[in-house]
Chain A
Amino acid sequence: MAETSAEPAHVHAPPEGFIRKHVFSLDHKVIGKQYYALALLAVFTGMILSWLMRIHLVWPNAKIPGLELLSKVGAPGGVMTPEYYLSLLTMHGTLMVFFVLTNAPFAAFGNYFLPIQIGAEDMAFPRFNMMSFWTTFAAWVVLMLAFVIPDGPPIAGWTEYTPLSAIGKDAGPGMEWGASCWGISIALFCVASLLSSLNFIATTLDLRAKGMTLMRMPLCTWAWFITSCIALLAFAVLLPACILLMLDRHAGTSFFIPAGIVASDRLQPHSGGSPLLWQHLFWFFGHPEVYIAILPSMGIVSHILINSMRKPLLSAKVVIYSMMSIGFLSYMVWGHHMFLSGMNPMSALAFSFPTLTITIPATILTLIWLGSLYGANLQINSASLFAIGFISMFVSGGVSGFFLAQPSIDIYLHATYFVVGHFHMVMGVASLFGVFAGTYFWFPKMTGRYMSEGLGKLHFWITFIGAYCIFMPFHYLGLIGNVRRYQSFVDDFMAPYIPLHKFITIAALITGGAQFIFLFNLIYSRFWGKPAPQNPWNATSLEWSIPSPPPWNNFGGRHPVVYHDPHQYGVKGGAGDFVMQDSPEVIASGD
């Protein structure tokens, strides 16, 4: 096959020196790994925060050794104060939603694999890519700063509703500089995400190899592409919101603060602002954000399933269109977070219908995954276990959405543990299962070694059962009216449910502990794992056509030519029951 277009010889020169190779790298693979490492740091921090919260909920007077070192004011003698619980809650949510669920499935794996899967040498804008990561890192540092400043982290939740988040220190502890750390951190995160999305979109549209039509892209590439389109618009709205919030906090403006507010016995010098405006701006970002969190995992799971099942999904096109519809609809539903907010009750119905409608593409996807399993030849390994687990978790998490999508039922269930159960199952579990599956699947490509299957399976079993033990009971607690964001349950009617909360806490400690098995597996296998061949899973997409780990320019300077889609499993190919995308061999049934 002839080299044809006037491509520049290299997108960037080969890296020299430690700093260029491992720190300020232009290589999308290094940047992907950096995002992954940051996500690991964030997820373990967030997990430990959740442990602290769960322990405090059921043993409020427990002395937690070392906690007073984290904050003398927030946990004197190791006993957590009510306000510190809220600080930890806020940091947990912020770290998990932004630094884990946006970073790991999207920025980490997407950066690493999208260029390779489309046959490109790197992302379109490697310097912007490097800037994206380091800006994200700076955002993380600024956020973590909230832990060490005297007044501690903010107590307004990851949603930082105004006026609580806007009036400054009169609102409570952590609301002076802690909340400002939050605002600056998230603003930086927005800038980084915008740059990242730009890169993903331009790369997908313009750097595809010859023969790599859009329809021949792997499903995870599609998921990253759709996610980046969503992210572009969502973060473009959150950034102005954060700017206006910071102005209210520090420059005396009144975008979000109305007149006549008396907090801490002080009449606040603001007037005319609208607290609902913040909610609208925030959720206009916030709802697409949760789809940013789940779509890449849907793509990764689809990608892994076809390989594990040794057969394609019933229709890749339907999966692509379903993911696109979810992306599109995600912009029409933000008001379902605001049914009881005081906005016009008519709009509640207007938001409810598209919210219910999203059930349709989500159901289509689930049925396609299930229907494709029929007649398959499923190979069980750590990656496929987490992919199957994803389907189970996505169903569980999605079904509770039926309730919350209806404003009338939301009257009762809003702000209860039912909501907390719902979003943890879809985001905290299902999305993370996609990340786990991707890790076990792609580790051999990224490092040239397998992860330990034994440890991987142990990790799966404890996490799968443990996650159900933690989050399924949240729904029952919601049904009896257990309110969320409380640091302890002082109501009489809650007394019979404290044992259930204790059960959840123990499950959380065990399940969280199992994640250290995963961490150990990652680190151990990186250095001493069993060596893996170039294509250990007999997979079809382009990442498996290059060495493990790949060279700095992915394809070694050549320009791959693509002949097939990545769904050629269960066909008679030269290498077995599959045909790789860049193999010129003809397939009887066509592609």
Chain B
Amino acid sequence: MASTTAVTAQAEKLRQAARRGGVAATGADRASRSGIWVAMFAITMSFMAFTSALFVREGSLDWGHLVLPSIVYWNTLALLASSGTFELARRRLELVGGGRVQSGEPGIIWLVATLALGIAFCVGQYSAWQNLRAQGIYLATNPNSSFFYVLTFIHVLHVVGGISAFLYLLSRLALRPGVLRRSFFENTAIYWHFMGVLWLYLLLLCRTRL
């Protein structure tokens, strides 16, 4: 009968996906993939709210101009490079079945590089704030600086969240090989790349409007 055929066809698809060790192996894997996209959607929406606040605020007479500290561009390179190294690590993953992965020997190096670059980005952003403070430009100095500090801080907060997930990922691959779910790895990677894309947008926004 129609519905039973549909049910068994769906089940067969899932069996095959599981055999391939693909990400959509289990409901939990699919759910975590949906979850990461939903989360990115919500984060994007929040930054859209900040953006609209910026567009309204720049209409006021006291809107000035902020020269972005040059370290910000180095930080950008670090973050984009970390996405690259993350991808290099991802391609060197080995499947161990049941939807799990292990890193493979050269993979660990790229993962460590990713972590280092990610931390470098955060440290670099902090350094950018220090640079501004040295010029006497603080959070409330002018509306431009307010937005710069707020946007970069909130973004770094989200990057730190990504780094926490990354630390967990790295610890599993390094210390307990073969125990990390592939879906977790892929979702962390998607989020990580999103942090880079989001930063490019914020950089463009700050560079052109602040």
Give the shortest distance, in Å, between B158 (CB) and chain A (any CB). Answer: 12
A4 to B17 CA separation, bound complex (whole angstroms): 12
8 contacts between A and B (CB under 8 A): A197-B38, A205-B34, A206-B27, A206-B34, A233-B42, A272-B62, A272-B63, A280-B52
Q: Using Cβ atoms and an 8 Å threshold, which residues of chain A touch B1?
A: 586
Q: Using Cβ atoms and an 8 Å threshold, which residues of chain A touch B25?
A: 6
Q: Using Cβ atoms and an 8 Å threshold, which residues of chain B touch A274?
A: 56-57, 59-60
Partner of A210, one of B7, B53, B63, B140: B7
Q: Which of B43-51, B79-87, B122-130 contacts A (4 or more CB under 8 A)?
A: B43-51
Partner of A198, one of B15, B18, B39: B39
Q: Using Cβ atoms and an 8 Å threshold, which residues of chain B touch A563?
A: 3-4
Taken residue by residue from 58 to 76, chain B's Cβ proximity to chain A (1 for < 8 Å, 0 otherwise) reads as 0111110000000000000
The answer, yes or no, to whether B150 is at the interface (CB within 8 Å) is yes
* A194 engages B60 (CB within 8 Å): no
Q: Using Cβ atoms and an 8 Å threshold, which residues of chain A touch B48?
A: 237
* A247 engages B50 (CB within 8 Å): no
* B38 engages A232 (CB within 8 Å): yes
Taken residue by residue from 1 to 29, chain A's Cβ proximity to chain B (1 for < 8 Å, 0 otherwise) reads as 11011111001000000000000000000
* B32 engages A4 (CB within 8 Å): no
Taken residue by residue from 188 to 219, chain A's Cβ proximity to chain B (1 for < 8 Å, 0 otherwise) reads as 00000010011101110111001100000000
The answer, yes or no, to whether A62 is at the interface (CB within 8 Å) is no
A145 to B135 CA separation, bound complex (whole angstroms): 39
A233 to B48 CA separation, bound complex (whole angstroms): 11
A5 to B31 CA separation, bound complex (whole angstroms): 14
Give the shortest distance, in Å, between B6 (CB) and chain A (any CB). Answer: 7
Taken residue by residue from 233 to 266, chain A's Cβ proximity to chain B (1 for < 8 Å, 0 otherwise) reads as 1001101110110010001111100110000000
Given contacts A247-B150, A284-B49, 6 further A-B contacts (CB under 8 A): A5-B26, A206-B33, A206-B34, A236-B43, A240-B50, A253-B146
* B139 engages A251 (CB within 8 Å): yes
* B57 engages A202 (CB within 8 Å): no
Give the shortest distance, in Å, between A270 (CB) and chain B (any CB). Answer: 9
* B57 engages A272 (CB within 8 Å): yes
* A211 engages B57 (CB within 8 Å): no
* B27 engages A5 (CB within 8 Å): yes
A258 to B149 CA separation, bound complex (whole angstroms): 20
* B53 engages A240 (CB within 8 Å): yes
* Number of chain A residues whose Cβ lies closer than 8 Å to a Cβ of chain B: 52
A120 to B30 CA separation, bound complex (whole angstroms): 14
Q: Contacts A6-B25, A210-B11, A272-B60 given: A125-B42 contact, CB under 8 Å?
A: no
- From residue 77 to 95 of chain B, which have CB atoms closer than 8 A to chain A? none
Q: Using Cβ atoms and an 8 Å threshold, which residues of chain B touch A259?
A: 62
Taken residue by residue from 26 to 62, chain A's Cβ proximity to chain B (1 for < 8 Å, 0 otherwise) reads as 0000000000000000000000000000000000000
- From residue 2 to 23 of chain B, which have CB atoms closer than 8 A to chain A? 3-4, 6-8, 10-12, 14-15, 18
Which residue on chain B has the smallest CB distance to residue A198?
Answer: B38
The answer, yes or no, to whether A329 is at the interface (CB within 8 Å) is no
Which residue on chain B has the smallest CB distance to residue A11?
Answer: B28
The answer, yes or no, to whether B162 is at the interface (CB within 8 Å) is no
Q: Using Cβ atoms and an 8 Å threshold, which residues of chain A touch B35?
A: 124-125, 198-199, 201-202
The answer, yes or no, to whether A561 is at the interface (CB within 8 Å) is yes
The answer, yes or no, to whether A522 is at the interface (CB within 8 Å) is no
A11 to B28 CA separation, bound complex (whole angstroms): 8
The answer, yes or no, to whether B177 is at the interface (CB within 8 Å) is no
* B50 engages A202 (CB within 8 Å): no
Give the shortest distance, in Å, between A274 (CB) and chain B (any CB). Answer: 5
* A281 engages B53 (CB within 8 Å): yes
Partner of A254, one of B6, B32, B143: B143
Partner of B46, one of A120, A199, A240, A277: A240
* B46 engages A247 (CB within 8 Å): no
Q: Using Cβ atoms and an 8 Å threshold, which residues of chain A touch B10?
A: 4, 210
Give the shortest distance, in Å, between B143 (CB) and chain A (any CB). Answer: 6
Which residue on chain B has the smallest CB distance to residue A195?
Answer: B39
A35 to B38 CA separation, bound complex (whole angstroms): 23
The answer, yes or no, to whether A315 is at the interface (CB within 8 Å) is no
* A124 engages B32 (CB within 8 Å): yes
Which residue on chain A has the smallest CB distance to residue B12?
Answer: A4
Give the shortest distance, in Å, between A497 (CB) and chain B (any CB). Answer: 41
The answer, yes or no, to whether A273 is at the interface (CB within 8 Å) is yes
The answer, yes or no, to whether A392 is at the interface (CB within 8 Å) is no
Give the shortest distance, in Å, between A273 (CB) and chain B (any CB). Answer: 7
* B28 engages A239 (CB within 8 Å): no
Q: Using Cβ atoms and an 8 Å threshold, which residues of chain B touch A1?
A: 7
Which residue on chain A has the smallest CB distance to residue B6?
Answer: A211
The answer, yes or no, to whether A377 is at the interface (CB within 8 Å) is no
Give the shortest distance, in Å, between B74 (CB) and chain A (any CB). Answer: 28
Partner of A6, one of B26, B57, B61: B26
The answer, yes or no, to whether A357 is at the interface (CB within 8 Å) is no
Which residue on chain B has the smallest CB distance to residue A285?
Answer: B49
* B150 engages A239 (CB within 8 Å): no
List the 6 closest A-B pairs by CB distance, nearest first: A4-B11, A252-B140, A124-B31, A6-B18, A272-B62, A272-B60
A327 to B4 CA separation, bound complex (whole angstroms): 33
Q: Contacts A247-B146, A274-B57 given: A5-B18 contact, CB under 8 Å?
A: yes
Which residue on chain A has the smallest CB distance to residue B1?
Answer: A586
Give the shortest distance, in Å, between A8 (CB) and chain B (any CB). Answer: 6
